Every structure is written in structure tokens, then in C-alpha cells.
Homo-oligomer: A and B are copies of this chain.
């Protein structure tokens, strides 16, 4: 009766259970023209043909050696960006989200700096936790979930630095924070907080914009690990 592990693997029936579909979806955020935007693609085939959807696709066991590879592959294919901020949000699996049957998707979200070229995809501004077009599958829910996570984390992390370009001013960064938090922040507290985090370094350049005092340009310190503040901004959960 007893078999070795090798013998077992030889005779292993990989289909004793019906395997659900495994896919990855990536909610790709950026800021354009002072608006938070999400990258969407138009589905080329059924189900939800021609409907807008999150960037995503099936795990390809031939190409991807881990789940995050699937996310990165999809991200690079649509944006050309190799190493953005990428975080796993959650995994949703059920028998209702996909008309083809039981389906599991692991949802990531990415934060992109403003410049990049797109491949058959388009930015959609986010208003009221949603985009203006209907989305395929449960993607509207996935988007709302990622947004909630982002909004929450912005209250106690420096995540928005990943939405900035190479160099930026503290005013720029504050505007992005305000965009995500959804309300104005005090400039003094904001500067104290961000400069105290020790993740930015001043460049030797300034930027002059709109007739006021020129602003110091900062860049992210090279060893930029995600910073967690010890207190949350007001408006926390």
C-alpha cells in the first residue's frame, strides 16, 4: 500500500478537482492633469467583448514562474514600465464573476510616474470611486477596492512618491496627496511629515512656476523603501 513520493507523483491525477481559472488583474494608477487615472483596455473577445476592463489575463504557466510575473508581464506589455510600485491587493474567487465558470483573480495595483507610452490601452479619470464607462466582470468592484486600499495607505505611508516623476517639488507631492485623500492638507504639517520621513533629498535645482517663489526640487532617495508614518493623517478609519 505504501508508495514513495516519486511513485505518487508519477501516478498523480492532476484533474481530480476541477481547477478554477486563475488570472491576474492589475489596477494601474497614474496622475495626469491633476486627476487620478486608471489604465483600461478594451476586451478583444468574449466574454464582455469590446467592454473596457482592467489590465490582466490568465496566468501562463509556460511564461510566468510566479504570480507577480504575470502582473509584471501584463504591465510591461501595456505601458513599457518595468519596475513601478506594485502591491498585491487581494484575491477574489467565486463562481459568479465570470460567465465561463469558477474563476479566481489575484488583483495587484501599480503606481506609475507620469511618463510612459501605451500599447492599446487608455487612461480613464476616476471620479466618485469609478470610471465613466461600464467595466467587464467585477472589475468595478476590484477598482473600488484598490482605491480604498490606496486611500487608506496614503494616510500613513509615503506611497504617492511613486506617482511622481524623477524630480518634483513638495507642492507637487502635496497636490497628489490631496487628490487621493480628497481634501486639502496643511502645507506646514505636510512638509514636516515628508521631510521628517528621510526619504527625499533636495536636488541642487529649483523650479519656477506661475509667478511665485521658485520651489526646491526633490528626488526620491536611492534606497527608497516604503515609509510608514507612526500616526495617520486625520480622516482615518
Contacts and interface: CB of A to CB of B under 8 A. Distances in A.
Nearest to A6: B46
Contacts of A12: 46, 100
B231 A230 contact: yes
Contacts of A230: 231-232, 236
B47 A5 contact: yes
Contacts of A93: 22, 59, 66-67, 106
- Secondary structure dominating the interface of A: loop
A149 B148 CA distance: 19
Instruction: State how many copies of this chain the complex holds.
Output: 2
A82 interface: no
A20 interface: yes
Given A20-B59, A236-B230, A67 B47 contact: no
Given A18-B61, A91-B91, A104-B104, 5 more contacts: A19-B19, A20-B22, A22-B93, A61-B102, A66-B95
